[in-house]
Amino acid sequence: MTTTEHPAPASADRTDLRLLDAWWRAANYLAVGQIYLMDNPLLREPLAPEHVKPRLLGHWGTTPGLTFLWAHLNRVIVRDDLHVLYVTGPGHGGPAVVATAWLEGTYSERYSRVSQDADGMKELFRQFSFPGGIPSHAAPETPGSIHEGGELGYALAHAYGAAFDNPDLLVACVIGDGEAETGPLAASWQGNKFLHPVHDGTVLPILHLNGYKIANATVTARITREELIAQLEGHGHRLYVVEGGFDGEDPMAVHERMAATMDEIVAEIARIRTRAAEQLAAEGRVDRPRWPALILHTPKGWTGPREVDGLPVEGTWRAHQVPLAGTRDNPEHRAQLEAWLRSYRPEELFDDDGAPRPELAALTPSGDARMSAIPHANGGVLLRDLKLPDFTQHAVDVPRPGATQASATGTLGAWLADVVRANPTTFRIVGPDETASNRLQAVFEATDRQFVGEILPTDEHTAQHGRVLEVLSEHLCQGWLEGYVLTGRHGLFNCYEAFIHIVDSMFNQHAKWLEASRHIPWRRPIASLNYLLSSHVWRQDHNGFSHQDPGFIDHVLNKKAEVVRVYLPPDANTLLSTMDHCLRTRDYVNVVVAGKNPGPQWLSVDEAIAHCARGIGIWDWASTDGGAEPDVVLGCAGDVPTIETLAAAALLREHLPQLKVRVVNVVDLLRLQDAREHPHGLADREFDALFTTDKPVVFAHHGYPSLIHQLTYRRTNHSNIHVRGYKEEGTTTTPFDMVMRNDLDRFHLVADVIDRVPGLAVKHAALRQHMLDERLRCRRHAYTYGVDAPDVADWVWPG
């Protein structure tokens, strides 16, 4: 394990570096300008109070490091014709990446009002963190970014996601030392065990050590350098360290060390990739490379004010946001700001029109090679439709409802294997070691788990290259898939339903990215992020209470209707049809919840397609209303609630043959919502036609009951909708006991009908009691024998 620290200046040419320094100064000037100025952008007159924004918002601390790295990457991009995607972990450094995008011309191409001249610079400054302007973080609005850095922790996972199946891409991922304390980032170092050095691209992790978070030192800055290097070497990297800028060190010296180190890193990456390609050709396998990683240690707020009001600022947490707070009212602060801005010598950097001087352009790559313009950061431009094989070939034969037993996800798995075969470089399945547990193992007939750590002969379905990525970290699964779809590819995340809450907050950030992107004309639609949640609440009887939580769909539905979709297919064929649809969509988050256990099948594939197209519908074959107004509607959403609802319908048919029962099944949960609230929402007229305007509705829902009320509260008949669902009653028990504990079982649903249909309660009290006795019988059986009574476990639709 060799560490290269402070290498001697090597190939870098001194003149180039003076130019590079000018470019860096320009970027820093533009960043400081964004934080402070609303007028006089080129400082062609003395700085006056009215030139300064009344409210100062932005993050200076990380900015000079981000611009420094950008400038040095530009040098090697131009020289070696590299394709580099820049992932800005310290997303608070919005001023940095907006500045570089403007300097490269991309910003003005995307936003013509922010032209590359004095007027445009003034607008660039004004709009930053300004009402009606742009966010203070790297964001969808930022050219060149796939990464919103507001919530920290996901940079390196995004970087690996972007690199998969992009062999020509180098992803330079800057990680702040604050972000390095988060769990998701700490786990992300494992990514290099999954990255193939020939078929995938390269990730260069750059730990930007500037020592401080908002108000506090960072942990990595306060352990020994030896410990820090051991950690990263232990994660399989070869470490390079560039340190400088402290105690007033001339930046030129730091440029020299950085340039020499960057040259070594780029050469090392090229060597690794060449060697791997040769080895792959010769041996059919590769050694796991020891990829380079860089530690850049510079002062927080480097080149900013050293001291303000007698307190140290540069190199401390005080440089985190706005180092000079009183620049509008405090002449001393304003003078300090003016000196700071002038220290970058703007007159050398911008011409009379305010455009960057032509000599700076020499360092700026052109066209798509600019990191601010690389197509991968606007993945929609690279996106191609998946080739989707005909899913009906995998459909389960359902001659009549309930006649066939099948596993929904098992059936899906066989089709997904075909999807994998048809799309060998643009589709990935991620999951936390649960692909087989979720019964998708058929995909392993078409591909393997990709892993470049040691593989033993006893391992199954594991290879150095494959479409499935399994790691026991939902954060990594989510982060990799986000990075993959944001750069223009497709994928599916399969997960236990309860544990998908682990990524609630990552989902939030991705959904917000999609919401914002829809309103940015130059951002092209990307593939939807697809979740398949299996091993769901009703089939976690064996793992027990800790594995039971159907609330992710509630969480999802707090996001804007335009980006979220939720599907609860009741059987295998509807799951096939649903997933085929989801994989064709753009710019959504699709959540599909489906069971893995063998269960009764209801719809033939043609019926399934029609039902999924409508998203909701009356199941005539299970209903006894003969097309007329029913006495009661049994609604259901989700596979297990559908079974219980149909069993209840069968019981009602047997015991109360005169009762007109209508069964309505919901696949697309958003059909329940008002059309004014969600684009999938049924018009009131349609909803009323299904659920009536005044008859009791007993609704069996997959998740928490409140969600159905939330979705339907504006409906005419809302006050008659009675919902059963999961109410946090669970333990280690049997499947039927799970539904009983939550009063979602067939017997209780029948009792609910008796309670709610006028006139039944008194007349059929005995039947009601019989139903409750049946529950006792079932529980006794389960508690005695450890399994469900056969008639409920293997119940078949009698129709």
Query: Which of positions 160-199 make contact with a copy of itself (CB under 8 A)?
Result: 178-179, 181-190, 193
- Asked if 463 interacts with a copy of itself (CB under 8 A), we say no
By the rule CB under 8 A, 522 interacts with a copy of itself: no
Of positions 357, 421, 524, 709, contacts a copy of itself by CB under 8 A = 709
Smallest gap from Cβ 424 to a copy of itself, in A, equals 22
Instruction: Write each residue from 539 to 568 as x if it is in contact with a copy of itself (CB under 8 A), else as -, in one continuous string.
Output: ---xxxxxx-x-x--xx--xxx--------
Distance (Å, rounded) from C-alpha 704 to C-alpha 710? 11
Residue nearer to a copy of itself on the CB measure, 552 or 619: 552
Nearer to a copy of itself, 475 or 490 (CB): 475
CB of 749 to a copy of itself, least distance (A): 20
Indicate the SS3 state at residue 297.
strand
Closer residue to a copy of itself (CB): 623 or 733: 733
Task: Report how far residue 453's alpha carbon sits from residue 469's, in angstroms, rounded to the nearest whole number.
Answer: 13
Stretch in the footprint of a copy of itself (CB under 8 A) among 117-125, 656-664, 692-700, 701-709:
701-709
Instruction: Between 128 and 797, name the residue whose CB sits nearer to a copy of itself.
Output: 128
- The CB-of-641 to a copy of itself minimum distance in angstroms stands at 17
Residue number, 233 or 686, with CB nearest to a copy of itself: 233
b/e per residue 431-452 (b: at least 16 CB within 10 A): bbebbbbbbbbbbbebbbbbbb
Give yes or no for residue 598 binding a copy of itself (CB under 8 A): no
Which of 43, 280, 405, 499 is in the footprint of a copy of itself by CB under 8 A? Answer: 499
Is the torsion defined by CA of 627, 630, 636, 639 positive or negative? negative
Nearest 5°: phi and psi at 618?
Answer: -80, 135
Determine, following the binding rule CB under 8 A, whether residue 713 of this chain makes contact with a copy of itself: yes
Which listed residue (509, 577, 604, 642) binds a copy of itself by CB under 8 A?
509
Decide if 724 contacts 699 (C-beta within 8 A): yes
The alpha carbon of 667 is separated from its chain's Cα centroid by a whole number of angstroms, namely: 24
390 or 783: whose CB is closer to a copy of itself?
783
User: Which stretch, 17-25, 278-286, 351-359, 506-514, contacts a copy of itself (CB under 8 A)?
Assistant: 506-514
Under a CB-based contact definition with an 8 Å cutoff, are residues 232 and 177 in contact? Answer: no
- Strand ranges, E, within 291-354: 292-297, 307-308, 311-312
Q: Closest distance between a copy of itself and the C-beta of residue 27, in Å?
A: 21
Instruction: Quickly list DSSP for 509-561.
Output: HHHHHHHHHTT-TTSPP-BPEEEEEES-GGG-TTT-GGG---THHHHHTTS-T
Please identify, using beta-carbon distances, which residue of 185 and 206 lies nearer to a copy of itself.
185
- Window 27-86: residues binding a copy of itself (CB under 8 A): 38, 53-55, 57
**Greatest Cα pair distance in the chain:** 98
Residue 243 tokens read as 């340190």
Query: Buried b vs exposed e over 470-489: b needs ≥16 C-beta within 10 Å?
Result: bbebbbbbbbbbbbbbbbbb
> How far apart are CB 284 and a copy of itself at their closest, in Å?
19
Nearer of residues 211 and 617 to a copy of itself, judged by Cβ? 211
Q: Identify the residue among 416, 476, 568, 648 touching a copy of itself (CB under 8 A).
A: 476
Contact 270, 79 (CB under 8 A): no
3-state DSSP of 132-157: CCECCCCCCCCCCCCCCCCCCCCHHH
The CB-of-123 to a copy of itself minimum distance in angstroms stands at 13
Cα distance between residue 663 and residue 214, in whole Å? 57
Scanning residues 634 to 653, which ones bind a copy of itself (CB under 8 A)?
none
Nearest to 29, CA basis, from 114, 84, 102 = 102
Going 420 to 383 to 274 to 232, the CA torsion angle's sign is negative
Shortest Å, Cβ 35 to a copy of itself: 12
Touching a copy of itself, residues 739-778 (CB under 8 A) = none
Verify binding: residue 720, a copy of itself, rule CB under 8 A: no
Stretch binding a copy of itself (CB under 8 A), from 300-308, 329-337, 400-408, 471-479: 471-479
Beta strands in 259-325 (DSSP E): 292-297, 307-308, 311-312
Min separation Cβ 796 and a copy of itself, Å: 21
What beta strand segments (E) does 555-691 contain?
564-567, 589-593, 598-600, 616-618, 632-637, 661-666
Please, which residue, 531 or 602, has the CB nearer to a copy of itself? Answer: 531
The CA distance from 379 to 660, in Å, is: 53
Spatial contact of 553 and 703, defined as CB atoms under 8 Å apart:
yes
CB of 405 vs a copy of itself, minimal distance in Å: 18
Report the SS3 class of residue 386. coil
Spatial CA neighbour of 509 closest among 460, 440, 469, 555? 555
Residues 201-240 interacting with a copy of itself (rule: CB under 8 A): 213-219, 222-223, 226-236
In the complex, least distance from residue 645 CB atom to a copy of itself, rounded to whole angstroms = 22
Residue 300 touching a copy of itself (CB under 8 A): no
CB under 8 A: which stretch of 148-156, 348-356, 419-427, 584-592 binds a copy of itself?
A: 148-156
For a copy of itself, the closer CB: 338 or 541: 541
Minimum CB distance to a copy of itself smaller for 330 or for 716: 716
Residue ranges in 360-389 that form contacts with a copy of itself under rule CB under 8 A: none
Q: For a copy of itself, which residue of 16, 119, 351, 504 counts as binding (CB under 8 A)?
A: 504
Its sign, for the CA torsion 315, 320, 322, 326, is negative
CA 299 remoteness from chain centre: 32
- Stretch of 607-615, 747-755, 762-770, 784-792 lying at the interface with a copy of itself (CB under 8 A): 784-792
Distance of alpha carbon 92 from alpha carbon 63, whole angstroms: 8
Going through 93-183 in order, the beta strands assigned E by DSSP cover 169-176
> For a copy of itself, which stretch binds (CB under 8 A), given 11-19, 136-144, 585-593, 604-612?
136-144
Cβ distance to a copy of itself smaller for residue 188 or 642: 188
If one asks whether residue 139 binds a copy of itself (CB under 8 A), the answer comes out as yes
**CA 407 to CA 396: how far, in whole Å?**
10
d(CA 171, CA 439): 34
Which of 55, 685 has the CB closer to a copy of itself?
Answer: 55
Give the nearest distance from C-beta 492 to a copy of itself in angstroms: 18
Strand partners, 307: 312
Q: For residues 511 and 612, which CB has a smaller minimum distance to a copy of itself in the complex? A: 511
Binder among 275, 357, 421, 501 for a copy of itself (CB under 8 A): 501
**Contact with a copy of itself (CB under 8 A): which of 65, 90, 153, 401?**
153
Range 232-291, binding a copy of itself (CB under 8 A): 232-236
Minimum distance between the CB of residue 429 and a copy of itself, rounded to whole angstroms?
14
Cβ-contact 574, 605 below 8 angstroms: no
Least gap, CB of 238 to a copy of itself (angstroms): 12
What residues contact 252, with CB distance under 8 A and at least 6 apart? 17, 18, 21
Question: How distant is the alpha carbon of residue 30 from its chain centre?
Answer: 31
Residue 558 CB, nearest approach to a copy of itself (Å): 5
Q: Which is nearer to a copy of itself, 10 or 516 (CB)?
A: 516
The interface region with a copy of itself, picked from 341-349, 682-690, 754-762, 781-789 by CB under 8 A, is 781-789
Total of chain residues touching a copy of itself, rule CB under 8 A: 119
